[in-house]
Amino acid sequence: MSSLTTHTHQEIITKINDFLSEEFEVDPARITPDGTLKDVLELDSLDYIDLVVVIENNFAFKVKPEDFTGIHTFQDFYDYIISKVHP
Amino acid sequence: MNRVAITGLGIYSCIGKNRGEVRDSLYKGQSGIIFDPVRKEFGYRSALTGFVDKPNLKEFLDRRSRLMLPEQGEYAYMATLEALQQAGLEQDFIARQEVGILYGNDSSAKPVIDAVDLMRLKKDTTLVGSASVFQTLNSTVTMNLATIFKLKGVNFTISAACASGSHAVGLGYHFIKTGLQDIVVTGGAQEINYLSMGTFDALSAFSVRESEPTRASRPFDRDRDGLIPSGGAATVILENWETARKRGATILGEVIGYGFSSNGEHISNPTVEGPVRSLRRALKDAGVDPGKIDYINAHATSTPAGDASEAKALAEVFGEKCVPISSTKSMTGHECWMAGASEIVYCMLMMQEGFLAPNINFENPDEDSAKLDIVTETRSKNIDVFLSNSFGFGGTNSSLIVQKPYN
């Protein structure tokens, strides 16, 4: 992985952490790669809709509900976004 | 039949954000009307409106609860919090009881418009987010408050135009009177954003006395030229009298009469006969003669046709110059869906303090209002029994009678 790509990935992760902590009103320090989205962000069924909204508003790609099936940890979430931004 | 006590009052309006502020404004005859330049720019014929400051709910509610509340829901939350506190209804007590909610609300325009605007732009309904549907439904206030306060009894919204809040109190009274519920949170809420009142402005129903905002609402005055929209929320906690006594609640008043009727005629033009039937039904329900009423809070919105028909109805039922009358809408503007509930709160505050709030801006009577005892200055007066009117589009009428508590 080139240093440029790594840097870009880090920027993406920072951006994700910023909008997640703002949207779901959690302390950014609680967002760690091995933490689970559902527990840390206290997501209920309605919150997944808002998760779609913030992703689309920040990265401008379409999100399908089934995309969340395999996403549990923040690292899963980062990997998913990065795969969409840098397919 | 059960007696129906009032055990809590909450108010969030353009003349004050709690009972104390509102009581002072009522006593001083202080108006809450402003000129809103945003409305003028948007194309309103009249930019006059009641001004209601938005509450900061971050200190009270979690993110999910705040997301779900439209503007009028925020006001309703504040008013209900104040009312529940006065009633001494703590959350752990509510959790063990079957407390109901009946609230008046007849629009949630801004969330609907915002959502459709977004859908038009994005061509993707998902992007309106999770909260939109819960903000846009007319029942938004009852669904939100029932969730926030964990209410387990009756739960629905009354939509009856400008009589919504009054019918909500009236229906709550019947639920308790007939033994279906012991405690019901009743009230009315009204959004006041510029998107919500444009269709009303379209009817040229609003006063255009824009150079004098606080003098523009002048119910019963010969030179009135229309109503002024306003909003906020008011909550009235109704409770089975015996239940309230047993738990040691302070009983603030007793609802003794509810009258209602439909004009059955034009959709917007008022009649005399419809309000007369509502008034007579309320008096009959209360079992009191017209002479027992110490004060009437008139619906009187400051439109020539509405005020005139109500003045005729009041003179017909109560006789000429027999009962002191004022319209608090002279200060608040027309709080629409909320008005029937807020005016019960205003009257309760007057009854508790022993004064009649003035019908400000009443300078010259017309031939109909000349037959009434319009209160033009704050008047000291013991109120044992008051009556409050609300009349709405579609010809829906509501009259409530409340008396001072006695054992």
Confidence of residue A87 (pLDDT cuts 50, 70, 90): confident
Cβ separation B127–A53 shorter than 8 A: yes
Q: Is the pLDDT of residue A3 over 50?
A: no
**Residue numbers of chain B with a pLDDT score lower than 70:** 407
| Count of Cβ atoms closer than 10 Å to residue B385 Cβ | 19
Higher pLDDT, B305 or A3: B305
Q: Has residue B407 been placed in a domain?
A: no
- CATH, range A4-85: 1.10.1200.10
Q: What is the extent of the structural domain holding B118? A: 4-398
Cβ separation A46–B64 shorter than 8 A: yes
A→B interface, C-beta within 8 Å: 24-25, 44, 46-47, 49-50, 52-53, 56-57, 62
Number of domains in chain B: 1
What are the counts of helices (DSSP H) followed by strands (DSSP E) for chain A?
4, 0
> 């909204």: which residue's tokens?
A53
The pLDDT score that the predictor gives to residue A66 is 84
Q: Cα distance from A6 to chain B (closest Cα, Å)?
A: 30
Residue B395 DSSP label = G
- Residue B205 in tokens: 């129903």
Confidence of residue A43 (pLDDT cuts 50, 70, 90): very high
What is the interface pTM, i.e. ipTM, of the complex?
0.88
Collect all residues of chain A within an 8 Å Cβ-Cβ radius of residue B127: 52-53, 56-57
Confidence of residue A7 (pLDDT cuts 50, 70, 90): low
Q: What is the CATH number of the domain that holds B382?
A: 3.40.47.10
Q: Has residue B403 been placed in a domain?
A: no
Confidence of residue A2 (pLDDT cuts 50, 70, 90): very low
Active site residues of B: 162, 299, 334
Q: Has residue B254 been placed in a domain?
A: yes
Nearest CA to B295 out of B212, B351, B220 is that of B351
Beta strands in B251-370 (DSSP E): 253-262, 295-297, 324-326, 355-356
Cβ separation A52–B64 shorter than 8 A: no
Q: Cα distance from B361 to chain A (closest Cα, Å)?
A: 48
- First vs last C-alpha separation in chain A: 14
The residue type at B122: K
Nearest CA to B254 out of B180, B173, B309 is that of B173
A63: region left, alpha or beta (phi > 0 left; psi from -120 to 50 alpha)? beta
Nearest to B126 among A24, A44, A52 (CB): A52
Q: Cα distance from B126 to chain A (closest Cα, Å)?
A: 7
Q: Mapping DSSP to helix (H, G, I), strand (E, B) and coil, where does residue B108 land?
A: coil
The pLDDT score that the predictor gives to residue A5 is 55
> 């987010």: which residue's tokens?
B129
As a three-state string, the secondary structure of A42-73 is CCCCCHHHHHHHHHHHHHCCCCCHHHHCCCCE
The pLDDT score that the predictor gives to residue B393 is 96
Mean pLDDT (whole number) for A53-77: 92
Q: Is the pLDDT of residue A1 over 70?
A: no
| Count of Cβ atoms closer than 10 Å to residue B260 Cβ | 22
Cβ separation A53–B63 shorter than 8 A: no
Cβ separation A25–B129 shorter than 8 A: no
d(CA B280, CA B289): 10
Contact in structure between B260 and B351 (CB atoms under 8 Å): no
| Count of Cβ atoms closer than 10 Å to residue B370 Cβ | 15
Each domain of chain A, given as residue ranges in start order, spans 4-85
Confidence of residue A6 (pLDDT cuts 50, 70, 90): low
Q: Has residue B406 been placed in a domain?
A: no
The pLDDT score that the predictor gives to residue B116 is 98
